[in-house]
């Protein structure tokens, strides 16, 4: 049940604190940034996840509280303690996430006042919660799906924020999934890990991994199904598939809203020596400023794709390489396809979704990742982000 309030972390005229209360017995799982400079919130969640239970989630927008030393840790402890007082639970049952400017300690007085206001507020819908957790997002991001588990319909709802500083090193945003299914923590974690590998860890906007990236999944058990304890439980496959679908919807919402972006780019790599190799090559293409600016300019400059394949550090043979834009093959066996028709390529690049296909001709490895174009808008947003 979400509640929102204004903690006034910034001067914006909007809610910036989200407080979600969860019933006793709620299971939790999470994936967190692999940054070596994580926020105190990430460290708090990483430790709390080992217990597998949750009673509340608190999300602060406008201040990431990262790189703030002992003051940042004290702020997280204060938030967890204040929330625990409201709910009569242990601080370790409270999960905290923050997003915004790095290097500014989260003001404890504003956080506690915001918590008190949110706790007393009338519950809101998930749309309001999605709006509240955003920063440079241009629209609120949420999705929902269902699955049949143990003969019962269970619902999964997710909200997410993310627009810049997006490069997967697990996931790279703040995302939260809530389900009324009964799922034991171990299986919930396994299902989230599997979903993350092909969704959140396959998107990039700018190649920069945040200090604060957090994706958490909460399972309340309110649907009354027999708890899912492993892959052999009745309905486990359906639940895992629904979770993966929800994560895919959320991940694409993030990359479509990349800062300054006008186009979603899907990059499919086949014929690599392994799936891991294919993923690394796909990400090299996806993170290339030269590829991304070419797509922004609707220029089918496939030479830049060749460059990105070559620099990836993965096995590749020039004379086996093939490249396509949309359905049109533009290069094959180390050369441009003689006489290929540029008209369908030009038409494809004018659309809002661009597909780049690369086949290395070496093996069975495949990967698909998603990126966005790089425009002047990205510079405008990030040149004066702190103001």
Query: What kind of fold does domain 2-256 have according to CATH?
Result: 3.60.70
Which residues, other chains included, contact 4 with Cβ-Cβ below 8 Å and sequence gap of 6+?
A: 15, 17, 18, 19, 118, 121, 124, 128, 129, 132
Between the alpha carbon of residue 101 and those of residues 6, 65, 67, the distances in Å are 17, 8, 10
Residue positions counted in the chain? 387
pLDDT tens, 93-115?
999 999 988 899 999 999 999 99
The reply, when asked if residue 145 is annotated as ligand binding, is: no
The whole-number average pLDDT for the span 316-320 is 95
Dihedral angle computed from the Cα positions of residues 44, 50, 53 and 56, in that order, rounded to the nearest 10 degrees: 10
The reply, when asked if residue 155 is annotated as ligand binding, is: no
- Tell which wins on pLDDT, 220 or 342: 220
Domain ranges of the chain: 2-256, 264-383
Task: Report how far residue 251's alpha carbon sits from residue 175's, in angstroms, rounded to the nearest whole number.
Answer: 9
Task: DSSP for 29-46, please give it.
Answer: EEEE---SS--HHHHHHH
pLDDT computed for residue 387 by the predictor? 46
The reply, when asked if residue 196 is annotated as ligand binding, is: no
The reply, when asked if residue 161 is annotated as ligand binding, is: yes
Does 352 score more than 70 pLDDT? yes
Task: Report how far residue 295's alpha carbon sits from residue 77's, in angstroms, rounded to the nearest whole number.
Answer: 45
Helix (H) / strand (E) containing 116: helix 108-120
The reply, when asked if residue 135 is annotated as ligand binding, is: yes
CA 175-269-142 angle, to 5 degrees, is 20
* Phi, psi for 132 (deg, rounded to 5): -75, -30
Between the alpha carbon of residue 386 and those of residues 19, 130, 275, 277, 382, the distances in Å are 25, 22, 39, 37, 8
| Closest CA relative to residue 239, chosen from 158, 160, 53, 231 | 231
Strand partners for 88 = none
The reply, when asked if residue 172 is annotated as ligand binding, is: yes
Share of the chain above pLDDT 90, in %: 79
Which positions are catalytic?
A: 172
Cβ neighbours around 1 below 10 Å, total: 12
**Prediction pTM value:** 0.90
Task: Report how far residue 142's alpha carbon sits from residue 128's, in angstroms, rounded to the nearest whole number.
Answer: 10
264-383: which CATH architecture? Roll (3.10)
Task: Report how far residue 332's alpha carbon sits from residue 337's, in angstroms, rounded to the nearest whole number.
Answer: 6
pLDDT computed for residue 55 by the predictor? 98
């Amino acid at each position: 049940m979400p509640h929102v309030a204004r903690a006034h972390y910034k001067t914006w005229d909007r809610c910036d604190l989200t407080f979600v209360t969860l019933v006793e017995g709620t299971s939790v799982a999470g994936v967190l940034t692999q940054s070596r400079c994580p926020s105190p919130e990430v460290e708090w969640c990483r430790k709390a996840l080992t217990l597998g239970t949750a009673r509340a989630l608190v999300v602060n927008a406008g201040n990431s509280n990262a790189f703030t030393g002992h003051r940042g840790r004290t702020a997280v402890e204060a938030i967890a303690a204040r929330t625990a007082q409201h709910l009569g639970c242990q601080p370790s049952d409270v999960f905290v996430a923050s997003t915004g400017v790095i290097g500014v300690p989260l003001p404890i007085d504003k956080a506690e006042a915001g918590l008190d206001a949110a706790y007393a507020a009338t519950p809101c819908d998930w749309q309001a919660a999605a709006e509240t957790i955003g920063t440079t997002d241009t629209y609120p991001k949420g999705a929902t799906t269902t699955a049949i588990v143990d003969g019962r319909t269970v619902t999964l709802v997710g909200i997410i924020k993310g627009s810049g500083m997006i490069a997967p090193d697990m996931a790279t945003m703040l995302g939260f999934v809530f389900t009324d299914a009964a799922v034991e923590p171990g299986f919930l974690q396994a299902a989230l890990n599997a979903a993350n590998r092909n969704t959140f860890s396959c998107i990039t906007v700018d190649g920069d991994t945040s200090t604060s990236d957090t994706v958490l999944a909460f399972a309340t058990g309110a649907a009354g199904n027999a708890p899912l304890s492993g892959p052999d439980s009745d309905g486990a496959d359906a639940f895992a598939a629904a979770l993966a679908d929800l994560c895919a919807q959320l991940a694409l919402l993030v990359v479509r809203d990349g800062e300054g972006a006008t186009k979603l780019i899907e990059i499919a790599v086949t014929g690599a020596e392994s799936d891991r190799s294919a993923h690394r090559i796909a990400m090299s293409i996806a993170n290339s400023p030269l590829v991304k600016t070419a797509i922004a300019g609707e220029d089918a400059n496939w030479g830049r794709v060749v460059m990105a394949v070559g620099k990836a550090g993965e096995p590749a043979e020039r004379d086996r390489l093939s490249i396509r834009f949309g359905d049109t093959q533009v290069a094959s066996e180390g050369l441009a396809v003689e006489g290929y028709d540029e008209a369908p390529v030009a038409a494809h690049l004018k659309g809002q979704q661009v597909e780049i296909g690369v086949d290395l001709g070496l093996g069975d490895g495949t990967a698909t990742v998603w990126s966005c174009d790089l425009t002047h808008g990205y510079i405008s947003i990030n040149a004066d982000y702190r103001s």
